[in-house]
Structure 1
């Protein structure tokens, strides 16, 4: 039996539309050509596919099952072709990804290892930096995607793919004087000294916005860091500075000796994920990497 793939596609189109004319229009074929293709397929199969009537084309009982199986096989073939193309293009490509240092180990590394195993010929260019620098590089086209905290409202030129939640907390050392207050309020932070990242970093802007909402002046920044506070935890643990830290970092050994301020206003709900440019097609290698990130989050890897 020598079935033609295009005849299968023509059969599936007629089954979908239920009328020869509509299927022919959708396929860009003449009705006689489509009729001939169906007749050729029925001859090869040895059984009729449709019951023809004034109302259209109805599948025979045997053709119902044949359609389900061939549709599944056709979908599998399309996926196989796409995967082969992605593998070919991806194997020759370069993945350009920007990563926040907080999520390099948890999100980037597992997916990067899998990608390296699946695409051993592919190369990766990795930029580890804070979100302001990552966004600038993404918009310039220097990166395919970034992994970092997502903006609460993604800009129109970017598309967000949430992967996990990791709230940002205001933190101090254990036994900090602020913790002795019976009912801690934001107003109690007015005279506090802070260790914060630069003014363009989203975490600092969140603190400034929260204080402004409470009618308070901007934070008194005694130590401004170019990276996250996680690398300077000893400075926090041996001073009365207030800082910000992700919930996962606080729960890790890096957060030893530190605690979150016990008030709702000291926490910022935050999603972590990937950002890509809306106006640029994501290369196959980057598409595969993004899928691995999603799969890992779903599986809990």
Structure 2
């Protein structure tokens, strides 16, 4: 059985970036022919390249079947890291291009939806105006994915809630306290009520956040031990999708106040007064402790900590 050291040495000595591109393309398309077209290779060349890579690793990465190719167990083990390598390389080229075009650098920022609306929406423009030569790339995503991207170096910082088990390599700078609130479409009967009871809430249909999102745990705890309400077939963290569903006037949702505030301000949804408060984890900045991203990242975090400008 080969050791990881030997496999790594083989890859460094004989693998090419084209091998990695092909691996990802085959996984995405399930077809060697379409993967070859995507990376600009002939099918025979792609077949040989994939065979060479599997020979290097001494294990098949894909299962071949009549309708194409499916990622095998070994392929599932290496694909996440291969994607991160290619993504990090692409990020480096974007930073290089930004510098070549006159920018002082590139700052890649990941954010959960609540941080986009609660932090970035009120502070990002002012930061960019005070740093006109810095290119800022904002990517919205799930907290677990963003955390892994920071650890891999493909994001400089993630605006998210503090993980329950924060990796030692990361530091967390708190930025915004948050709580869960109940919202409805502006035409919903409960939007005009005060002090809605739990029994009344349970009579309506709810759209829930996916498992693994903090506000979903709060929702489940709210109805623990009482009749579970009917739930919508849509489960989402997308604010746009939530607003569209709530427009039916018959659905409720529990979301972070940081996310709801903008939509309430613009008359797209309404808060439902339930007479309770449900604290959520503080939103903050997660970055590597080694300070490798320097002054630009420090200035960004400081700017996100500043109170938003008066509206």
TM category (shorter chain) comes to: 0.5 to 0.7
Match of 2:205 among 173, 193, 205: 193
**Residue of structure 2 in register with 1:167 after alignment:** 179
Work out which of the two has the higher radius of gyration on C-alpha atoms and give 1 or 2: 1
Match of 1:252 among 256, 265, 286: 265
**Residue of structure 2 in register with 1:221 after alignment:** 231
**Residue of structure 2 in register with 1:207 after alignment:** 219
Equivalent position SS for 1:138 = helix
**Residue of structure 2 in register with 1:20 after alignment:** none
Matches within 5 A, 1:234-273: 234-245=244-255, 246=257, 247-253=260-266, 255-265=267-277, 267-269=278-280, 271-273=282-284
Deviation by residue 1:180-206 (Cα, 9 ceiling, x = unmatched): 988643344445322233222222232
Matches within 5 A, 1:115-134: 115=131, 117=132, 120=133, 122-134=134-146
Match of 1:147 among 130, 153, 159: 159
Q: Is the 8 A contact 1:131 1:202 kept in 2?
A: no
Distance change (3 Å), C-alpha of 1:258 and 1:202: same
Shift of 1:276: 2.0
Shift of 1:173: 3.5
Distance change (3 Å), C-alpha of 1:105 and 1:177: closer
Q: Matches of 2:208 and 2:276 in 1, distance apart?
A: 20
Shift of 1:97: 0.9
Shift of 1:282: 4.4
Match of 2:286 among 275, 280, 285: 275
Q: Matches of 1:156 and 1:217 in 2, distance apart?
A: 38
Shift of 1:297: 2.4
Shift of 1:169: 0.5
Q: Is the 8 A contact 1:168 1:270 kept in 2?
A: no
Shift of 1:131: 3.3
Quick check: 1:293 aligned with 2:265? no
Distance change (3 Å), C-alpha of 1:252 and 1:175: closer
Unaligned runs of 5+ in 2: 1-98
Q: Is the 8 A contact 1:211 1:218 kept in 2?
A: yes
**Residue of structure 1 in register with 2:123 after alignment:** 107
Q: Is the 8 A contact 1:137 1:143 kept in 2?
A: yes
Distance change (3 Å), C-alpha of 1:180 and 1:156: same
Q: Is the 8 A contact 1:194 1:223 kept in 2?
A: no
Q: Is the 8 A contact 1:250 1:256 kept in 2?
A: yes
Q: Is the 8 A contact 2:171 2:286 kept in 1?
A: yes
**Residue of structure 1 in register with 2:48 after alignment:** none
Q: Is the 8 A contact 1:229 1:244 kept in 2?
A: no
Deviation by residue 1:229-264 (Cα, 9 ceiling, x = unmatched): 3554243133311112425235410x4452223220
Q: Matches of 1:135 and 1:216 in 2, distance apart?
A: 35
Distance change (3 Å), C-alpha of 1:170 and 1:128: same
Q: Matches of 2:148 and 2:300 in 1, distance apart?
A: 21
Equivalent position SS for 1:297 = coil
